[in-house]
């Protein structure tokens, strides 16, 4: 297949896409808030897949009628809890075929970047824990959600930086797709998170893969056929 003669950046989501979801997703945000206030709190916010760290922290803080000045404090505790769990042996598993597809894209000369709701630090810890080589990813062409309440803030930065080149977001939730659509970046959906193939059909994904093993070739062909991004504005 003929590839466009422009740089290609594959922006991978992490949770549910590169690594399988945790058994109790979202509990660290609540624990970080409890540390910040120094007491036990009632859990008032359920985990919402596809949200950013900043958005989830803000929702937890506001659900308890606490001031937004607490948000950076909670963020610091979230980082600490991530480190503690990693050193305690809490590890995630790679999604089926994800490592091999990252390697395949590198062979094609494509950049493997990240677009995640996590901070760069939490992204590194999760990838290391799942056995990925962190230098397999282009961190200069990666975009993080620790300071963006809305995921479109993350995709907007990516669209601006990558305008005129070919780029695609690979993710596992409708929110990933909505944030991609909002800024004109194509979306490839993988059903390795909490949403199955049928659920992901409601997105505007250019293709929907069962996983990166069964449908790795499908993902590659869909990306290779994409035109460059239009300039922002």
Nearest CA-CA partner of 214 in 194, 191, 184, 230: 191
Instruction: Find, among 15, 47, 210, the residue nearest to 118 by Cα.
Output: 15
Q: Residue 46 has what pLDDT? A: 74
pLDDT tens digits, 38-59 = 999 998 887 678 889 999 999 9
Residues 57-104: tens digit of each pLDDT? 999 999 999 999 999 999 999 999 999 999 998 888 999 999 999 999
Q: 25-28 long-range contacts, Cβ below 8 Å, gap at least 24?
A: 25/49, 26/56, 28/78, 28/81, 28/82, 28/85
Among 13-17, 45-49, 91-95, 124-128, the minimum mean pLDDT is found in 45-49
CA–CA dist 19, 219 (Å, integer):
17
Q: What DSSP element (H or E) covers 9?
A: strand 8-12
pLDDT of 176 reads 96
Position 2 pLDDT exceeds 60: no
pLDDT digits (tens, 9 = 90+) for 143-197: 999 989 899 999 999 999 999 999 999 999 999 999 999 999 999 999 999 999 9
Which pLDDT belongs to residue 6? 85
């Amino acid at each position: 297949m003929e590839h466009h003669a422009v740089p290609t950046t594959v922006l991978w989501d992490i949770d549910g896409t590169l690594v399988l979801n945790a058994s109790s997703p979202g509990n660290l945000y609540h624990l970080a808030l409890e540390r910040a206030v120094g007491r036990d709190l009632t859990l008032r916010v359920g985990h919402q897949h596809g949200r950013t760290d900043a958005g989830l922290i803000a929702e937890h803080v506001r659900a308890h009628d606490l001031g937004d000045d607490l948000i950076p404090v909670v963020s610091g505790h979230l980082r600490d809890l991530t480190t503690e769990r990693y050193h305690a042996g809490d590890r995630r598993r790679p999604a089926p075929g994800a490592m091999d597809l990252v390697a395949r894209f590198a062979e094609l000369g494509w950049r493997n970047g990240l677009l995640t709701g996590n901070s760069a630090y939490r992204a590194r810890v999760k990838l290391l824990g799942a056995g990925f080589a962190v230098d397999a990813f282009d961190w200069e062409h990666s975009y993080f959600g620790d300071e963006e309440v809305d995921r479109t803030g993350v995709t907007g930065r990516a669209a601006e930086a990558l305008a005129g080149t070919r780029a695609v977001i690979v993710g596992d939730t409708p929110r990933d797709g909505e944030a991609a659509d909002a800024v004109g970046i194509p979306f490839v959906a993988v059903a390795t998170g909490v949403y199955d193939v049928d659920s992901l059909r409601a997105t505007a994904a250019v293709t929907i893969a069962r996983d990166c093993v069964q449908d790795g070739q499908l993902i590659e062909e869909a990306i290779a056929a994409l035109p460059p991004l239009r300039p922002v504005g």
